[in-house]
């Protein structure tokens, strides 16, 4: 039972490995203008503390809240072949009221 006594070792990810890309959508643009919240696709191994640290490092802003969603893959079909798209993780990051991120 040595596996139960050992601590879980977590892989350290750099900031650019945690935040994969910003999600620029109509809903995301509305959230950024109204609530100062921005959406990112993040690494599936990253948790809330890692996402907060990565966004603060990459964009030089103050993060107040992080919400994470696990997005399942969707079924796809091409002719007679059935498959699924990959599952991914989405993070919605709320910033301090004085901070902004400009993607354009």
Residue linked to tokens 């997005």? 71
Tens digits of per-residue pLDDT, 82-91? 999 999 999 9
Does 39 fall in a domain?
Answer: yes
Tens digits of per-residue pLDDT, 13-59? 999 999 999 999 999 999 999 999 999 999 999 999 999 999 999 99
Residue 29 belongs to what domain range?
A: 11-95
Does 62 fall in a domain?
Answer: yes
State the pLDDT confidence band at 6, using cuts at 50, 70 and 90.
Answer: very low
H/E stretch holding 94:
strand 88-95
Does 3 fall in a domain?
Answer: no
Residue 7 pLDDT > 90, yes or no?
no
Does 91 fall in a domain?
Answer: yes
CATH number at residue 35: 3.30.70.330
Asked whether the whole model's pTM tops 0.85, one would answer no
Task: Give, in order, the Cα–Cα distances in Å from 75 to each of 3, 22, 42, 88.
Answer: 36, 24, 21, 14
Does 2 fall in a domain?
Answer: no
Cα-to-chain-centroid distance, residue 94: 12
Q: Tell me if residue 29 falls in helix, strand or coil.
A: helix
The structural domain count of the chain equals 1
């Amino acid at each position: 039972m040595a596996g139960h006594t050992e601590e879980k070792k977590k892989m350290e990810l750099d900031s650019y490995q945690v935040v994969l890309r910003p999600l620029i959508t109509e809903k995301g643009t509305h959230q950024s203008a109204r609530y100062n919240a921005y959406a990112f696709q993040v690494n599936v191994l990253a948790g809330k503390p890692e996402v907060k640290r990565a966004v603060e490092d990459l964009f030089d802003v103050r993060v107040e809240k992080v919400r994470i969603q696990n997005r399942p893959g969707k079924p796809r079909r091409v002719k007679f072949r059935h498959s699924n798209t990959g599952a991914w993780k989405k993070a919605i990051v709320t910033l301090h009221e004085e901070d902004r991120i400009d993607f354009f």
